[in-house]
Amino acid sequence: DRLKSTEDKQQRVRKDCTPRIARLLLESTSLKDLIQYGLPKQGREIGRGQYGVVYDCKNWANHQSCVLKSVVPPDDRHWNDLALEFHYL
């Protein structure tokens, strides 16, 4: 019974808490970068992916060359997946 309870708690953390924490991390990191570096300058379109469009971006956040990905996930589940992907990079 105790083992089952512990497994249930671990599952809840994995399914409920971790995606929310990852999303909070993504949003707070984005806000910090906006305050510290400003908005990146969007260049020419490079390509399109599952979540959005990828653009060239020059000289942002002390990087000489980088890309900018415009992302608009359709729902919370996709937002959480994206946040977890960002968190584990």
For the chain, percent of residues with pLDDT exceeding 90? 30
Q: Residue 5: is it exposed, middle or buried by C-beta count within 10 angstroms (0-12/13-18/19+)?
A: exposed
What are the extents of the domains in the chain? Answer: 2-87
CATH 3.40.50 fits 2-87, yes or no: no
Q: Residue 22: is it exposed, middle or buried by C-beta count within 10 angstroms (0-12/13-18/19+)?
A: buried
Q: Residue by residue, what is the 3-state secondary structure of 23-64?
A: HHHHHHHHHHHHHHHCCCCCCCEEEECCCEEEEEEEEECCEE
Known binding-site positions for ATP: 69
| pLDDT tens digit sequence for 28-70 | 999 999 999 999 999 999 999 777 899 999 889 988 888 888 8
pLDDT for position 37: 94
Side chain identity at residue 79, one-letter code = W
User: Coil, helix or strand for 63?
Assistant: strand
Known binding-site positions: 69
Give the helix/strand (H/E) hosting 69. strand 63-71
The reply to whether the predicted model has a pTM over 0.85 is no
